């Protein structure tokens, strides 16, 4: 089982990549990140549960929901999702990580509509203006970092921890190594045979894949302060609500252009950039992709339903 | 202009006809009724605003929203819709007719997210257990009547008032009737020419179309108490969450089968029945339609996006 966990790819599914106004193609912001056999929901705009149905997503490994900020297009789907999880027979608690105001805003409706569910919705408030670890387990950490928007907003950095090396089964069998020794070998120990032969750890194991890192930045104006937080990540999602030509809108709304998203990606030396959160005023995302690629070639323009393996 | 109003057909658009769990095809409950040049939204499940976008519905004549009961699948789309109306530059107030608890539940989020909008959201509480007129203007009335469900729930009866008769243009011209006389003629007066000739009203006008009536019943168990309220309506929407074979579910959840919906339609002598609010456990609505048609032939099985002219 532990081997299976380590082999699991990190997978990102775009549930919604529209902005404040939905379009025929794109719902409000929401993404599902699967990392180390766990599911993390990032933002939960209206229709998130509908997208999950449409994209055949099962949520039995979903326990943690992260909300970047309290604009409705990033959290209005929360109540519907929680209600439906209740109807699906869920029993495990749901953990919601968000600005402290969220609990006050939605708790009355949760009490009213979900009061008889066999699970609780636990709120874990954080300060979006801080850079801090808000979630950690034995294999993953989630860190906030401040973005620049009209209300307190943060980005999230999801990082795998370095996994233990893989045992080389043929060597374990050849030396008939007892099971009780395996944990130590995974932790780096050499193996000493009953005859006193020292078998070096490097002959018994292969290194696990390097840990993956995914950073989510929505919503934000162009801010170079983001760069150190997302430096070198395997994948960066950075909002691109407008095109560069919409100077006034970019300035007034504290959103980014595709070029600006790509500039952050380039300066932070990330491996891949996904852009999204397109304003509904554009018919297609083609001009976004063209604008971004001039600055950062490895850019993909998100559409609802796309999945990426990191 | 008044002639145009009278000529407007009554049009019903199904925005969502799923039940508590959305499916790939059907969103949560919501319908748009266009009557006498006004738009009335009936229930507002999650994704209502998305459906409006997908079905190219403009909402510039939408001022009144009616919520049948406070299960989330009938109102969780309200906040997103209101937010988007604000972003679309709306200035007219929105009137929400619902159980008194709704204001308490959603007002904090409206204040938080929509506080700077140039319009207000006004709540008009009603008692879903009563049969009363909750909306009236010069051409339409909306009446509640109690349904039988797990929480206080009502149906809505939308009725056109009898419109004034149409003037026969050729006769008006032939007699050179002054414009100032036309209002009286529309109200039934004869016309007396300068020569003293009496032109009877029936020669100057044709009767307006008989007023249309639409009744909405979701959610409800089978209840013959509904019948007098919907007697003879032009169109009845009656929920059919289950098939007749699901006896236990029908009983436990206080929903109806397709057969039960059709029985109400038949006993109430309605002109047309639309069924919907299908449980997500069924793959298609074909068995619903088959079951209902055995009892009431003029039945249509709703799908999201369907429109009906009454």
CATH number, domain of B76, equals 3.60.15.10
- More confident of the two residues B157 and A4: B157
Give the residue numbers spanning the domain of B216. Answer: 2-163+208-309
β-sheet bridge partners, residue B34: B11, B39
| Distance from the B75 Cα atom to the nearest Cα atom in chain A, whole angstroms | 10
Residue whose C-alpha is closest to residue B74's, from B220, B275, B212: B220
Please tell me whether residues B51 and B139 are part of one structural domain: yes
The reply to whether omega before A219 is within 30° of 0 (cis) is yes
pTM for this entry: 0.92
The domain tally of chain B equals 2
SS3 state at A153: coil
| Distance from the B222 Cα atom to the nearest Cα atom in chain A, whole angstroms | 23
| A11-16 vs A30-35, strand pairing mode | antiparallel
CA triplet A21, B22, B274: central angle to 5 degrees? 100
Q: What pLDDT is stored for residue B115 in this prediction?
A: 85
Q: What pLDDT is stored for residue A3 in this prediction?
A: 39
Q: How confident is the model at residue A6 (pLDDT cuts 50, 70, 90)?
A: very low
| Distance from the A154 Cα atom to the nearest Cα atom in chain B, whole angstroms | 18
Looking at residues A231-257, what average pLDDT do you find?
97
Q: Are A16 and A42 in contact (CB under 8 A)?
A: no
Give me the residue from B54, B77, B87 closest to A24, CB to CB. B54
* pLDDT at B191 exceeding the cut of 90: yes
Q: Which helix (H) or strand (E) holds B14?
A: strand B11-16
Per-residue pLDDT tens over the stretch B30-50: 999 999 999 999 999 999 999
* pLDDT at A5 exceeding the cut of 70: no
Say yes or no for a CB contact (<8 Å) between B21 and A53: yes
Residue whose C-alpha is closest to residue A89's, from A56, A118, A127, A124: A118
Q: What pLDDT is stored for residue A105 in this prediction?
A: 96
Please tell me whether residues B111 and B196 are part of one structural domain: no
B116 a catalytic residue: no
Contact list, B70 vs chain A (CB under 8 Å):
112-113
* pLDDT at A225 exceeding the cut of 90: yes
β-sheet bridge partners, residue A41: A32, A65
Please tell me whether residues B213 and B112 are part of one structural domain: yes
What distance in Å separates the CA atoms of residue A176 and residue B239, rounded to the nearest whole number?
67
Catalytic residue among A43, A73, A219, A234: A73
* pLDDT at B280 exceeding the cut of 90: yes
Tell me which of A82, A113, A117, A121 to substitute to probe the interface with B (most B C-beta atoms closer than 10 Å): A113
What distance in Å separates the CA atoms of residue B135 and residue B230, rounded to the nearest whole number?
17
State whether residue A70 sits within 8 Å of chain B by CB. Answer: yes
Please tell me whether residues A86 and A155 are part of one structural domain: yes
Please tell me whether residues A137 and A286 are part of one structural domain: yes
Q: What pLDDT is stored for residue A129 in this prediction?
A: 96
Please tell me whether residues B297 and B182 are part of one structural domain: no
State whether residue B80 sits within 8 Å of chain A by CB. Answer: yes
- The mean of the pLDDT values for chain B is 95
Say yes or no for a CB contact (<8 Å) between B112 and A105: yes
Which of A147, A182, A206 is the last residue before a domain boundary?
Answer: A206
Please tell me whether residues A266 and A191 are part of one structural domain: no
Which of A181, A206, A231 is the last residue before a domain boundary?
Answer: A206
State whether residue A113 sits within 8 Å of chain B by CB. Answer: yes
Say yes or no for a CB contact (<8 Å) between B49 and A46: yes
Q: What are phi and psi of A96, to 5 degrees?
A: -110, 120
Say yes or no for a CB contact (<8 Å) between B109 and A72: yes
What distance in Å separates the CA atoms of residue B229 and residue B110, rounded to the nearest whole number?
34
Please tell me whether residues B79 and B225 are part of one structural domain: yes
Please tell me whether residues B141 and B213 are part of one structural domain: yes
- For B27, name the nearest residue in chain A, comparing CA atoms only: A50
Q: How confident is the model at residue B2 (pLDDT cuts 50, 70, 90)?
A: very low
Per-residue pLDDT tens over the stretch B51-109: 999 999 999 999 999 999 999 999 999 999 999 999 999 999 999 999 999 999 999 99
Per-residue pLDDT tens over the stretch B170-189: 999 999 999 999 999 999 99
- Region of A133 please: left (phi>0), alpha (psi -120 to 50) or beta: beta
* pLDDT at A67 exceeding the cut of 60: yes
Please name the residues between 17 and 36 in chain A that touch chain B, using a CB distance below 8 Å: 20-24, 27-28
| B38-44 vs B62-66, strand pairing mode | parallel
State whether residue B50 sits within 8 Å of chain A by CB. Answer: yes
C-alpha pair distances (Å), B238 with each of A116, B213, B264? 28, 14, 8
Please tell me whether residues B98 and B238 are part of one structural domain: yes
| A140-146 vs A132-136, strand pairing mode | antiparallel
State whether residue A305 sits within 8 Å of chain B by CB. Answer: no
Q: What pLDDT is stored for residue B238 in this prediction?
A: 98
Contact list, A241 vs chain B (CB under 8 Å):
none
Per-residue pLDDT tens over the stretch B104-144: 999 999 999 888 899 999 999 999 999 999 999 999 999 99
Any idea how long chain B is?
310
State whether residue B70 sits within 8 Å of chain A by CB. Answer: yes
- The mean of the pLDDT values for chain A is 95
What distance in Å separates the CA atoms of residue A106 and residue B109, rounded to the nearest whole number?
8
Which of B147, B182, B206 is the last residue before a domain boundary?
Answer: B206
Please tell me whether residues A139 and A104 are part of one structural domain: yes
Tell me which of B20, B50, B73 to substitute to probe the interface with A (most A C-beta atoms closer than 10 Å): B50
Residue whose C-alpha is closest to residue A134's, from A206, A40, A54: A40
Please tell me whether residues A86 and A96 are part of one structural domain: yes
Looking at residues A125-154, what average pLDDT do you find?
97
State whether residue B55 sits within 8 Å of chain A by CB. Answer: no
The reply to whether omega before A200 is within 30° of 0 (cis) is no
Contact list, A77 vs chain B (CB under 8 Å):
46
Q: How confident is the model at residue B1 (pLDDT cuts 50, 70, 90)?
A: very low
Instruction: Tell me what percent of the residues of chain B surpass a pLDDT of 90.
Output: 95
- More confident of the two residues A58 and A2: A58
* pLDDT at B234 exceeding the cut of 80: yes
């Amino acid at each position: 089982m532990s081997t299976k966990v380590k082999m699991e790819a990190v997978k990102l599914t775009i549930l919604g990549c529209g902005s404040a106004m939905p379009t025929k193609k794109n719902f409000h912001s929401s993404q599902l990140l699967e990392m180390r056999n766990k599911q993390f929901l990032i933002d939960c705009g209206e229709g998130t549960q509908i997208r999950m149905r449409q994209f055949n997503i099962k949520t039995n490994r979903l326990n943690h929901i992260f909300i970047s900020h309290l604009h409705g297009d990033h959290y209005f789907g929360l109540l519907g999702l929680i209600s439906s999880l209740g109807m699906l027979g869920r029993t495990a608690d749901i953990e919601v990580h968000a600005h402290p105001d969220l609990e006050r805003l939605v708790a009355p409706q949760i009490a009213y509509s979900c009061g008889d569910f066999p699970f609780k919705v636990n709120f874990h408030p954080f300060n979006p203006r801080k850079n801090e670890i808000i979630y950690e387990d034995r294999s993953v950490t989630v860190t906030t970092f401040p973005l620049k928007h009209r209300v307190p907003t943060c980005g999230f950095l999801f990082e795998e921890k370095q996994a233990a090396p893989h045992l080389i089964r043929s060597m374990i069998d050849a030396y008939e190594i007892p099971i009780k020794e395996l944990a130590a070998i995974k932790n780096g120990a050499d193996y000493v045979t009953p005859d006193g032969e020292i078998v070096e750890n490097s002959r018994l194991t292969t290194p696990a894949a390097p840990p993956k890192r995914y950073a989510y930045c929505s919503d934000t104006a162009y801010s170079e302060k983001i760069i150190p937080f997302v430096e070198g990540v395997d994948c960066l999602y950075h909002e691109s609500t407008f095109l560069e030509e919409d100077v006034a809108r970019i300035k007034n709304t504290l959103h980014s252009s595709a070029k600006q998203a790509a500039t952050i990606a380039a300066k932070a030396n990330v491996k891949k950039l996904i852009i999204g959160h397109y304003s509904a005023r554009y018919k297609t995302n083609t001009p976004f992709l063209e604008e971004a690629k001039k600055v950062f070639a490895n850019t993909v323009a998100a559409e609802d339903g796309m999945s990426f393996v990191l």
